[in-house]
Amino acid sequence: MSIAKRSSRTGERVVVGALFACAVLSIAVTVGIVAVLVVDAVAFFRESSLFDFLTGTVWAPGQGSGEGGLYGVLPLINGTLMIGVGAIVVGLPLGVLTAIYLSEYASARIRGLLKPTLEILAGIPTVIVGYFALQFVTPSLLRPIFGEDQVFVFNAAAGSIAVGLMILPIIASISEDAMRSVPASLREAAFGLGSTKRQVSLRVVVPAALSGIAASVILAFSRAVGETMAVTIAAGNSPKMTLNYFTSIQTLTASIAQTVSGEASAGTVRYNALFALGLTLFAITLVMNLISARIVRRFRQVYS
Amino acid sequence: MTASASAEALAPSRLRRGATRSGARIFVDAAFSVLLFVGTIVGVVALATLLWTIVDDGWARLMADPAAFLSNYVSRLPARAGIKAALIGSAYLMVLTTLFCFPVGVGAAIYLEEFAPRNRVTNFVETNISNLAGVPSVVYGLLGLGIFARFLRMGPSLLAGALTLAVMSLPVIIVAAREAIRAVPESIRLGAYALGATKWQTVRRQVLPAALPGTLTGTILALSRAIGETAPLLVIGLPIVIFSLPNDLRDPVSALPLLIFDWTSRPQPAFAEAAAAASIVLLALLLAMNAVAIYLRNRYTIRW
Amino acid sequence: MTQRTRRGWLLGLTLAIALVATACGGDDDAGGGSSGGTALSGNIVIDGSSTVAPISEAVTEEFNKEQAGVKVTVGTSGTGGGFTKFCNGETDISDASRAIKDEEKQACEAKGIKYQEFRIGLDGLAVVTSSKNTFLDTLTFKQLAEIFKEGGATTWNQVDPKFPKEKIAIFAPDTESGTYDFFNEKVLGDPDEGGLKPRSDYTASSDDNTLVQGIEGEANSWGYFGYAYYQNNKEGLKDIKVAEKGTTGISPTTETITTGDYPLSRPLFIYVKEESLKRPEVGQYVKFYLEQTPKLIADVGYVAAPQDDYTQGLSKLQPFLTS
């Protein structure tokens, strides 16, 4: 509620109008994204059946005769989920442990050192993390441990580790915020009953912060699903239905990257397939972000 | 003090170690502390390993002839290859991107914080912006490809690249600017209104200047994310092999992360070294930008 | 405005100016070369075969030393993808590792695109495995077909009982690639005349570098690509001798490719749009291409075509040159 004088000066009206336009531009951006994706995806589905897209288990554009090709998206979804789950397997325990440490155990000085470190980790460009996965994780970590015959040169495990490292800061920082918001009274009560720090952390704080942690996981998963460069470099470009983390796979994002590096002649089925993939990706991340936001809103209500 | 420590301090001392001093519980407590420490350290160690790998692989290459590396164009011979086009390209992109998204982002933030009525439209705009923040960068690339490069016929040019990066950074800048504006206490505004100022006068002369450091910090951080992004530029089709600098907005331009991606994908070990050397340059650039942002934040933020 | 905020503005402004200055300051060699003739400017768009791309890149690198104002981009959409764009009017020059097909000719005619074909070099398609491989030395055409045909061998002992029972890790170009077309035509035969269909369950990539990395990393790998990619990565790769008839295999070398003894030798082409040749920079670029390639091509890793090809190309080009 404002007690400011509503200005009748036209100059001001114009300015406010311009500012309003800036804000509304964001709507234009969303409209643009949806329009671009939908229009070209529809063009794609006119040539290639939607049913085959959603249920086909082979992604081989240009395979078969001439313009025909196999456009089943399931192998790509398989690859994307493998990376997403793998990244969570790496990032969730490390992130939550870090969050507990930062929130319950660490001194102010250590926090002052750790938090910037996490920010740095979050800020490393994804190409560089991809390089690290290809040049270090696979040859010096995975192959020595699991055997050179078992681990393909491009593999999902290296991709998962890379993406896991990238989402660790997200999980750690949001979970830590959630834990810090747990009222002191809950802890005090537990201590009063004779609990140790560990018991308070594990049995009081974490359960109380659970929705915040859950929201961070969903957000992190969404981020992992949208990650492009690290997986393109390290996880390979072979779409296949598999659960073997040591072989090469292809994610939705890597497929988009590969198609644009190859051929992207406007109007062809292959070009339009890009947008079908983009639409799928957009839909998945949008749904996850909405769920995460809903959880955050709910958990904020509980404590405020 | 951590939330837990303050609660702990309130518990009577003989209870702090737990009512029963069973050896098993002490052991588990200690083991858990170790686990926490290890979990936290893994992230730090991973970051250190990553940075070490990059520096170890690339330092010799960079230092062998830094002037040549920075001023040569790419070449088929790894020893002769340099990052000139990519580095200057990234610089151009950054300046242009800022020019596009800073005014629009700050404008939108001002509108949403100061002028927008609390109604359904405003809520819709705000939800829209936070959804946009979670869209994967590769989808922004598809937007850039479909609309800027193709529909508006800009082609893979400096203009298309900058617009795409600007659109991608917009939500982040809006959020950062809003926080900075929100941090300005109401008393400042009320004082101005009491003296008869209109809303816009208050914003322009009191709120904005006070919010500027925080806004700048957020903008610089958003931009440092943007220059590290490869996927959107890859999708638009910016070239990697280019032997000249752009003279015009419509000229093709290269970018540092694109180059790192290309060199990483080449099998010759000499190119891997070059990729690491280029990564060092990119990281140094990011470090400089973040240092400036932090300096601004510490030096100029007015603590109310 | 308080002194603090004034300082803040000043700092921000200085930063912005510094950024712009650095960016602009780097632009020192814009505006044309010096070698006697006029300084040319303009954009040239080249796309197509990833086999030929390294040649185009080398030519461009040298060309830009004399004519820095001409901006050339070299894409690698594959020979097929390149022709699609070329016949759509999107590119000026199409790199190709095979001659233009009839369907593509018709597509160009339909859009009114007239072009000139130039032979610019020779390539020997190298069939390779990892340097870690211990048992591969020579493969016959029959065996190659057995590996790459649809429903073909999955383990090495199916190709030759003397080989171990290990899974074959196949890395090969994808369907847009001229190299892919050439290999299939030679080894599997013409599909219209009873030839075999190629398989689709292998690691396909339009990026030959990815193929090299993949093959290097797997001891039981098999793949093929242009000779230059083998030449430039010899440490990690082992070339497999190829026998078209009989059992004596031939290795790809400059000699065997030039004489044509190597069974998988083929010419490399560029196709130039006649409309584009009207622009002086394009004409000069193509002239430079035909003059310089014989000297550069060995550096890139391929083999020069017979000198006649270049001379004939230059005389074909002459009427189009405007300067």
Give me the residue from C82, C90, C203 closest to A248, CB to CB: C203
**Mutating which of C50, C108, C150, C175 best tests the A interface, going by the most A Cβ atoms within 10 A?**
C175
Mean pLDDT of A215-229: 92
Write down the residue that tokens 């007690």 correspond to: A3
B28 contacts on A by Cβ (under 8 Å): 198
**Which CATH number is C82's domain given?**
3.40.190.10
Q: Among candidates A246, A291, A223, which has minimal Cα distance to A80?
A: A223
User: Are C43 and B251 a contacting pair at CB < 8 A?
Assistant: yes
For residues A302 and A288, the model is more confident at A288
User: Are A285 and B135 a contacting pair at CB < 8 A?
Assistant: yes
- Among A88-97, B9-18, B68-77, the minimum mean pLDDT is found in B9-18
Q: Which structural domain, as residue segments, surrounds residue A126?
A: 82-303
- Which subunits count as partners of chain B given 3+ CB pairs below 8 Å? A, C
C186 domain residue, yes or no: yes
**Residue C293 contacts by C-beta under 8 Å, 6 or more apart in sequence?**
C55, C59, C120, C121, C304, C310
Q: Which structural domain, as residue segments, surrounds residue C187?
A: 126-251
Q: Which residue of B has its CA nearest to A257?
A: B235
Q: Vertex A153, ends A150 and A158: CA angle to 5°?
A: 85
**Residue C120 contacts by C-beta under 8 Å, 6 or more apart in sequence?**
C52, C55, C268, C269, C270, C289, C290, C293, C297, C305, C309, C310, C313
Q: Is the pLDDT assigned to residue A161 strictly greater than 90?
A: yes
Looking at C251, C277, C302, the residue that finishes a domain is C251
Contact C271, C317 (CB under 8 A): no
Q: Is the pLDDT assigned to residue A266 strictly greater than 80?
A: no
**Cβ contacts from A onto B, under 8 A:** 310
A102 contacts on B by Cβ (under 8 Å): 40
Contact C310, C276 (CB under 8 A): no
DSSP symbol at C71: E
Write down the residue that tokens 């530029």 correspond to: B233
**Is there a single domain that holds both residue C138 and residue C241?**
yes
Q: Is the pLDDT assigned to residue C126 strictly greater than 60?
A: yes
B33/C163 Cα distance (integer angstroms): 55
Q: Is the pLDDT assigned to residue C223 strictly greater than 90?
A: yes
**Residue A176 contacts by C-beta under 8 Å, 6 or more apart in sequence?**
A98, A99, A102, A103
Q: How many domains is chain A partitioned into structurally? A: 1
Q: Is the pLDDT assigned to residue B104 strictly greater than 90?
A: yes
Mean pLDDT of C71-86: 83
For residues C80 and B287, the model is more confident at B287
Q: Is the pLDDT assigned to residue C136 strictly greater than 80?
A: yes
CB proximity under 8 Å: C 219-238 to B: 232-233, 236
- C26 falls in which pLDDT band (50, 70, 90)? very low
Q: Looking at domain B84-300, does it have CATH number 1.10.10.60?
A: no
User: Are C209 and B266 a contacting pair at CB < 8 A?
Assistant: yes
**Cβ contacts from B onto C, under 8 A:** 99
B256/C224 Cα distance (integer angstroms): 31
C11 contacts on B by Cβ (under 8 Å): 296, 300
Q: Is the pLDDT assigned to residue C147 strictly greater than 80?
A: yes
User: Are A187 and B7 a contacting pair at CB < 8 A?
Assistant: yes
Looking at C203, C225, C251, the residue that finishes a domain is C251
**Is there a single domain that holds both residue C298 and residue C211?**
no
Q: What is the distance of C-alpha C69 from the center of its chain?
A: 25
B161/B148 Cα distance (integer angstroms): 9
Helices (H), A66-155: 74-100, 108-123, 126-132, 143-146
A15 domain residue, yes or no: no
**Residue A242 contacts by C-beta under 8 Å, 6 or more apart in sequence?**
A78, A249
Parallel, antiparallel, or unpaired: how do β-strands C93-96 and C70-74 relate?
unpaired
Q: What is the percent of chain B where pLDDT is above 70?
A: 92
Helices (H), chain B: 3-10, 13-16, 23-64, 66-71, 84-110, 120-133, 137-143, 158-182, 186-194, 199-202, 208-227, 231-236, 256-264, 269-300
**Is there a single domain that holds both residue C207 and residue C293?**
no
**Which CATH number is A205's domain given?**
1.10.3720.10
**Mutating which of A132, A200, A204 best tests the B interface, going by the most B Cβ atoms within 10 A?**
A132
C242/B198 Cα distance (integer angstroms): 85
Q: What is the percent of chain C where pLDDT is above 70?
A: 88
Q: pTM of the prediction?
A: 0.84
- Among A63-67, C123-127, C211-215, the minimum mean pLDDT is found in A63-67
Q: Is the pLDDT assigned to residue C24 strictly greater than 80?
A: no
Give kind and range of the element (H or E) at residue C243. Answer: strand C241-243
B242/C49 Cα distance (integer angstroms): 17
Mean pLDDT of A80-89: 95
**Is there a single domain that holds both residue C133 and residue C215?**
yes
What is the token pair recorded at A88?
Answer: 């969570």
Question: For residue C44, is it left (φ>0), alpha (ψ between -120 and 50) or beta?
Answer: beta
C74 contacts on B by Cβ (under 8 Å): 239, 241
- A64 falls in which pLDDT band (50, 70, 90)? very low
Q: Is the pLDDT assigned to residue B296 strictly greater than 90?
A: no
Closest Cα in chain A, distance from residue B159 (Å): 17
Predicted confidence at residue A5, as pLDDT, reads 58
Contact A274, B142 (CB under 8 A): yes
Predicted confidence at residue C119, as pLDDT, reads 93
C226 contacts on B by Cβ (under 8 Å): none
Residue-wise burial string across A286-296, b where 16 or more C-beta atoms lie within 10 A, e elsewhere: bebbbebbebb
C37 domain residue, yes or no: no
A53/C223 Cα distance (integer angstroms): 29
CB proximity under 8 Å: C 82-101 to A: 82, 84-85, 88, 90
Predicted confidence at residue C27, as pLDDT, reads 42
Q: Is the pLDDT assigned to residue A148 strictly greater than 50?
A: yes
Q: Is the pLDDT assigned to residue B4 strictly greater than 80?
A: no
User: Are A265 and C219 a contacting pair at CB < 8 A?
Assistant: no
For residues A251 and A50, the model is more confident at A251
- Mean of per-residue pLDDT scores for chain B: 87
**Is there a single domain that holds both residue C60 and residue C176?**
no
Mean pLDDT of B168-197: 90
Q: Is the pLDDT assigned to residue B131 strictly greater than 70?
A: yes
A241 domain residue, yes or no: yes
- Mean of per-residue pLDDT scores for chain C: 84
Q: Which residue of B has its CA nearest to C67?
A: B244
pLDDT per residue as tens digits for the range A2-30 = 556 556 677 888 888 888 898 888 889 99
User: Are B18 and A195 a contacting pair at CB < 8 A?
Assistant: yes
Q: Which residue of B has its CA nearest to C47?
A: B239
- Among A82-86, A204-208, A262-266, the minimum mean pLDDT is found in A262-266
pLDDT per residue as tens digits for the range C28-50 = 443 333 444 578 888 899 988 88
Mean pLDDT of B79-100: 92
Closest Cα in chain C, distance from residue B47 (Å): 26
What is the token pair recorded at C259?
Answer: 């004489």
**How many CA atoms within 13 Å lie on the side-chain side of C102?**
0
Q: Which residue of C has its CA nearest to B239?
A: C73
What is the token pair recorded at A58?
Answer: 């082979």
Predicted confidence at residue C42, as pLDDT, reads 86
Q: Is the pLDDT assigned to residue A124 strictly greater than 90?
A: yes
For residues B114 and B6, the model is more confident at B114
| Dihedral of alpha carbons C145, C54, B90, B286, sign | positive
